[in-house]
Amino acid sequence: MDNHNQYEKNKEILAHIVEAVRRVIITGQSPKDLPPFLANNEDFNRILSDLEGICRFSLDLANGKLEPELKVKGKLAGSLKSLQANLRHLTWQTQRIAAGDYNQEIEFIGDFSTALNTLVKKLEEDRIALEKHAGELSMYKQNALKLMMDVQMARDDLEKANAQIQSQLEEIHNLHMLLREQAIRDQLTGLFNRRYLMETLERELARAQRGNYPVSLIMVDLDHFKSINDTYGNRVGDIVLQSLGKMLLIKTRLDDIPCRYGGEEIVIVFPNVNAEVTAQRAESLRHAFEELSINNAGLTIYATFSAGVASYPEHATDIESLLQKADQALKSAKNAGRNRVNIYKNP
């Protein structure tokens, strides 16, 4: 019976020892809950401490940490230390190879050594091949640089040529616009000329016919203009005409088209405006010009104008008839005493 009890007790002790060793191997740390008879056993604690150190050292090696020092003695510890030394030397050789030293040869890691030595030999062969073609690569590089410079110079020349062409096109466009302005503007008054008036009326009447809306005219004529020329001279007469033209350019809207019809006669086209509204605008322009003082060499002149209004399609349906009706309304205004606006009335 005593032998059986002793056997069970030894079996329990062995189980604690096995569990403690297993936990060290698995966790890398000695268990803290050892039975008192093991916790107080110095030889057993030293064995666990050595085993813990070996586990920790092995884990460091597996993670690539080659600096830790293993103070445990014995064959297993010696093998691990030897492996650490070989890995340190292998690391140094690898660094030398990375720096271009292809004379390194590894002999202590079996198949890995053979594979690595083959790789180093291949790197050495590639280095020799690269050096052999270094001259060709340098020549290719110089040719490429020269070609890039030629391309850049050609690109710069092309950009300069494009800039010059663009500048010339802008100059041509500006000249074209200037010539067009000169072709359609009256030089004295700055208003559109008679040719532009006829082109505008043809265009606007065609639009009005399609859009079914009115187009009205104001025909303006300076009052007593011949008397102004006879009294003050043609130069002053030109100044009066210029003042009238400038005033009309300022007072008319963007859609209105003031034109010099001939001599001191001016025609203003009002698209999409009926005769009554056009007469109101004519009256406003007449009043503004009546109050305008024209100064020249200390001389102050006041002038007036008469105006006749006609409208498409109320009074006429073609250009010539519309101008005639506006002229008849103008003559009626002059006959009624001048400095007034008159709307043409159908018989």
d(CA 34, CA 17): 9
Structure tokens at 226: 């011949």
Q: Report the candidate in 313, 305, 310 with the shortest Cα–Cα distance to residue 345.
A: 310
Please tell me what DSSP assigns to residue 260: E
Three-state DSSP class for 71?
Answer: coil
Other CB atoms within 10 Å distance of the CB of residue 287: 13
d(CA 286, CA 263): 18
d(CA 32, CA 281): 110
Please tell me what DSSP assigns to residue 304: -
264, 276, 290, 291: the active-site residue: 264
Length of the chain: 347
Contact 269, 201 (CB under 8 A): yes
d(CA 108, CA 117): 11
Q: Report the candidate in 309, 318, 244 with the shortest Cα–Cα distance to residue 277.
A: 309
Contact 280, 234 (CB under 8 A): no
Q: Report the candidate in 258, 251, 256, 260 with the shortest Cα–Cα distance to residue 272.
A: 256
Three-state DSSP class for 343?
Answer: strand
Q: CB neighbours of 65 closer than 8 A, spacing ≥ 6?
A: none
Structure tokens at 246: 């400038």
At which residue do the structure tokens 């009238």 appear?
244
Catalytic annotation present for 291: no
Question: 46 to each of 31, 34, 42, 53, 214, how far by Cα in Å?
Answer: 13, 14, 6, 10, 118
Please give the positions annotated as active site.
Answer: 264
